[in-house]
Structure 1
Amino acid sequence: MATASSDLVSLPLAELELFARDLELIPIPTVQVVRDGSGFDFLAVNRAYRLAGLGVIADRSPMLALLGSRIDAFLRSTDVRSDFDWSIGQVIDSRYYRVTLARPSPTLRDRCQIAFIDLTAQVHTERSLRREMTTDSLTGLPNREGFSDMIEAVQADRGRHAVLVIDIDRFGRLNACLGGLAGDELLITVARRIKGVLRARDALARIGGDEFGILMAVDDDADEASRLAERIQRALSAPFRLSDYEIGVECSIGIAHGDDAVEDVEELIRNAQFAVKRAKTGRHVENYQTQAFTLARQQFAMETALRRAIEERQLRLAFQPICDLASGAIVSFEALARWRDSSGVEHQPSDFIPVAEESGLIVPLGRWAMDEAARTLRWWDDACGGHCGMRVAVNLSAIQMQRDDIAPVVEAALIRHDLAGDRFNLELTESAIVSDPDRIAGIMHALKALGTSLAMDDFGTGYSNLAYLQKLPIDILKIDRSFVSGMLADRDKIAIVRAILSLAQALGMRTTAEGVESNELAQTLAALGCTYGQGYLYARPLEAEDALSMIVAARAAATASSAN
């Protein structure tokens, strides 16, 4: 034990020996330091401190060499205690301590007691567990959590960077067909190929089942990330040999650039994943665009509001008349969904119907529309004192046909409102039919068995197959407004409409022309043999009350005409 030459002269020897003996009873490395005019000296050290190898001679102690300035600052302060973490040694053999500086007595301003709690084993255990938690067990790469840690470290250093997310196309199908072991082998091989085209400073991680993430440093070239994406696609283009098969792998890659506006790690990864979804539409590589993400947020917000609107029955139906072209008489109304939200904003069907189809809300929306159309039709009948003479056309979407049991839904609406099946005209698009022809044919026959009429909507704009028209129980072809509008000034459109009308006549079907806006156009269509017309010439979509007024007026005019 070393002693201070000046500060300890006045301290009685018996007191020094008692102090040293008490210090030995402390089980953790502890040393008392005294500050003299030339620096520090050790007043006393215990056995645990001597065994710790922190140096028992003051001028040779690595502890004093490293912590001297901190000890000095503590002694100059008015603090009675200070705690902090400290490590010593190289990376491989580092030792970690929790250090406590404390004054043995408030009156002794030049002395402090230093205790060292060894945390080395605890730190190594925590780091080992952390490595396991942040490492993918299959590939040995960082997992999603480890990837986030790497991005967070780069952001802390304010380095320019980009995140690439790579999604293996058709992996689920390959995994199901070849088995889990082959799928694991494919992922490992994909990881090796990707790693082979990265720079030394780029980092690769597996952040999902078939999803890899890359953190790359970006210099001054904004296209670096896109060129890396191209290199990755080339690396994966060569077939993979799995068992007895050669498998071709394609991938979609999304890129998001880190900047001061995106400080959240998860947000940056989500941006890249959002870009991947857009890349899957056919481009294969997509850079994140703020505008596209803003649009997606708006659509998600609309989905949330639409779900609430359906639950709270905030939607309504508007009704557009369909007229006999020869007589001008109203024969039916098409039911069209309308939505005015709680704040009074009127949303266009072209905005919320695609959101409903993508989110699956088209199923409850379609069920509501079917019931509401039947309820309105019953109300018209009651207001007219009997059968009002009208039918209602209701649209069925492709998603609705795939996900819902349509025939029982229609039947339930008819029974609930005491209507015959021939009061409904159900309109399907060509895309609904071609999605699953055999299943859709069964649904159409079930709907026909209820007495309903079936129409193919927007004929000529989709994937028309004449075999469908011949085999399916279709009653009406609706000619899309794109062929009808401007038809009188376009000989090609006239030829197309004439061909559709001839086809419908040969198959025994009636026809409805959409977009009829003038008497001249209505007369021309009638002369060509078109059965019905629908458009602004007759009326814009009407509220149910206004449609009823039109029905009542038409019935009164018909009664007066027959009386004369």
Structure 2
Amino acid sequence: MVHNIDGKAQAPRPNLLVVDDNPKNLHSTKRILQELEINIITVESGEDALKAVVNHSFFLILMDVNLPNMSGFEAVTCIHSNDNYKHIPVIFLTAVNKDEIFVKQGYDTGAVDYLIKPISSHILISKVKIFLDLNAAHDEMYRLATTDTLTKLPNRAHFQSYELSVLNSAVRNKSIFAILFLDLDNFKEINDTLGHDAGDILLKSVANNIKDCLRNSDIVARMGGDEFAIILSTITCSEDAGVVAQEILKKINVITKYLDDEIRTTASIGIATYPSCGESCAELNKSADIAMYKAKEARNGFQFYNAEMQKKMLMRLSIVQGLHHAIENNEFELHYQPKVDVKSNVIIGMEALLRWNSAKIGVIGPDKFIPIAEDTGQIITIGNWVLKQAIEQAVLWNKNNAPHLQKSMAVNVSVKQLTSKDFINTLKKNLTSSGLAPSLLELEVTETALMENKEYATTLLNDIHELGVKISIDDFGTGYSSLSYLQKLPIDTIKIDLSFVRAINTDKGTDLIIKAIIDLAHTLGMIVIAEGVENLNQVQFLTQLGCDVFQGYYFGKPKPENRYDAINLTDITNLNSAI
């Protein structure tokens, strides 16, 4: 099978093998069949027929029965005993014996027909045409079964077949080849905003651009969706694959026209080379996939596989599996960090922070498992559990407090949890069943979550605010929103990101940014919380600027609820020593 630069499988003219020990018969057969678009190979013995079958692919064999040394029956028996060649149809030719037993012996060896010499030219041509048509139909079925209908690239099945042949060749020749897995970075967004027709045009454009970067011996296949796989069949060193990957990224990052719109995309590529990244197709594909996943962390780039990635991927898989059972196994726990009023020095509320002590893995930081839960969608179930537990804890803490001493409870809500279809109903249900006043619940949402879909965010936050629940923007200053945009949203509180707080008095520009955030937030009637407050210097600076609420290790580290039960939550005196 020959593969050209566009990845399509192009077979040469079909081969017909004619076996006869009489050169005149061979010449006559070739002359009769010369009108057909086929390549005729002739041999004069059974032994040579076996060699020809090994070296060529045949759609049909015309086999003389009476051959020297090895008969036609013996030759066909040997050919069909090999699984690689048993599918080749054989027509026996004979001039000496028409006996029924003799003919039966031919069919028993695997013949599909029997022609008696002298053979009519018309009959011979008709017989060969039948199998030529069958071969063409088979090739077309194979093409349809192994070709992606949209891009006309090879599909997954074709890729796997070609990969195996390249691997076998590399093993024999002790050569190097590379597997590249490519995934478009923003395909879903393009499909969602411009429609599937635009997505299809982009996929075809990407396919053509990748093909332009490859050699005749290389192949690119569409594996499904916006995923492509590339085989660089022979390379000198792994760096060669990096050069090709860089060229592909450059070629893909161009404008594609769709109606009145211009579409631009980038891609992430993972690279695995044989034999350093694996000695089987499965190992190489897994390595390329792991490397691609790593590349997607930064986007618009490529990444070579290394052993450290394998360790991280295995840890990720362990976390994903562990998260499935963390709630039922009681492995989650909420810790609470106090929020302190700047003017009164009194604790006015708590923020619930999720912690996980896995029975199999051990203690895992939220910075490790929360992003994974986001990616897998598990964050919705986990987030709902956190919301319920935090609300119930707020009720317990407030049940004996006077109205003016009630403490609020802040809960972080992920974008996936926030936009899940049942979130509002879940929120209402928890508030109703617990009896917590909605005004004592504060939902913290990141800037990024708001910016992903401004129109939907506005509607959703208004619905939440109408319940009486407070809304806080977490990590403010790290995203791309503006206070003018936030003015249009029902925002109660802005939390200055701890990266700004840590830079206080070390960077004049940061100090000015903090002052601007506080001044503008107050102008818009919003409360400002500084998170990550860890020393007196930060306290004094933020107090002078008019910050409203502090949160950080200086006032209290996150601790389980039972570490707060024994102290007066209205006073922060010696709070850290008490807990």
Report the TM-score when normalising by structure 2: 0.68
2:332 and 2:357 in contact (8 A); partners too: yes
What residue in structure 2 maps to residue 406 of structure 1? 423
What residue in structure 2 maps to residue 151 of structure 1? 163
The match for 2:109 among 100, 106, 118 is 118
Query: Where does 1:333-412 land on structure 2 (aligned, <5 Å)?
Result: 333-343=350-360, 345-382=362-399, 389-412=406-429
Give, in whole Å, the separation in 2 of the partners of 1:232 and 1:453: 48
- Structure 2 vs 1, CA of residues 292 and 52 (structure 1 numbering), >3 Å: closer, same or farther? closer
Moved more, 322-331 or 184-193: 184-193
State the shift of 1:347 in Å: 1.1
State the shift of 1:338 in Å: 0.8
Give, in whole Å, the separation in 1 of the partners of 2:572 and 2:279: 68
Cα deviation per residue 1:260-317 (whole Å; 9 max; x = unaligned)? 6623324433444554555565335444444335423322321221121134442111
The match for 1:135 among 141, 146, 162 is 146
The match for 1:517 among 518, 534, 548 is 534
- Structure 2 vs 1, CA of residues 132 and 476 (structure 1 numbering), >3 Å: closer, same or farther? closer
> Quick check: 1:500 aligned with 2:512?
no
| Residues paired across the two proteins, number | 473
Give the greater-gyration-radius structure (CA). Answer: 1
Give, in whole Å, the separation in 1 of the partners of 2:211 and 2:572: 77
1:485 and 1:515 in contact (8 A); partners too: yes
Give, in whole Å, the separation in 1 of the partners of 2:288 and 2:326: 32
One-letter code aligned to 1:437: K
Give, in whole Å, the separation in 1 of the partners of 2:242 and 2:539: 55
Query: Where does 1:205-244 land on structure 2 (aligned, <5 Å)?
Result: 205-208=221-224, 211-229=227-245
> Quick check: 1:542 aligned with 2:553?
no
> Quick check: 1:259 aligned with 2:275?
yes
Cα deviation per residue 1:539-564 (whole Å; 9 max; x = unaligned)? 1111111122223684999xxxxxxx
The match for 1:297 among 293, 301, 314 is 314
1:254 and 1:275 in contact (8 A); partners too: yes
One-letter code aligned to 2:320: E
State the shift of 1:353 in Å: 1.0
One-letter code aligned to 1:131: Y
One-letter code aligned to 2:499: S
- Structure 2 vs 1, CA of residues 115 and 541 (structure 1 numbering), >3 Å: closer, same or farther? same
> Quick check: 1:480 aligned with 2:497?
yes
1:425 and 1:454 in contact (8 A); partners too: yes
Cα deviation per residue 1:55-90 (whole Å; 9 max; x = unaligned)? 27x6575777999xx9xxxxxxxxxxxx9449999x
3-state SS of the aligned residue for 1:319? strand
- Structure 2 vs 1, CA of residues 86 and 209 (structure 1 numbering), >3 Å: closer, same or farther? closer
Moved more, 168-177 or 247-256: 168-177
- Over the residues paired in the alignment, what is the CA RMSD in angstroms? 4.5
Give, in whole Å, the separation in 2 of the partners of 1:392 and 1:243: 50
Give, in whole Å, the separation in 1 of the partners of 2:261 and 2:493: 50
One-letter code aligned to 2:331: Q
Give, in whole Å, the separation in 1 of the partners of 2:572 and 2:84: 95
Give, in whole Å, the separation in 2 of the partners of 1:493 and 1:137: 53
The match for 1:419 among 426, 432, 436 is 436
What residue in structure 2 maps to residue 201 of structure 1? 217
The alignment-based identity, stated in percent, is 31
State the shift of 1:382 in Å: 4.5
- Structure 2 vs 1, CA of residues 370 and 134 (structure 1 numbering), >3 Å: closer, same or farther? same
The match for 2:176 among 148, 155, 160 is 160
- Structure 2 vs 1, CA of residues 283 and 388 (structure 1 numbering), >3 Å: closer, same or farther? same
3-state SS of the aligned residue for 1:333? strand
Give, in whole Å, the separation in 1 of the partners of 2:73 and 2:163: 35
Give, in whole Å, the separation in 1 of the partners of 2:502 and 2:209: 55
- Structure 2 vs 1, CA of residues 315 and 248 (structure 1 numbering), >3 Å: closer, same or farther? closer
Give, in whole Å, the separation in 1 of the partners of 2:283 and 2:448: 36
Which 5+ residue runs of structure 2 have no aligned equivalent? 1-61, 93-104, 114-130, 575-579
Query: Where does 1:431-470 land on structure 2 (aligned, <5 Å)?
Result: 431-470=448-487
State the shift of 1:177 in Å: 6.6
3-state SS of the aligned residue for 2:436? coil
What residue in structure 2 maps to residue 31 of structure 1? none
State the shift of 1:372 in Å: 0.3
2:182 and 2:227 in contact (8 A); partners too: yes
Report the TM-score when normalising by structure 1: 0.69
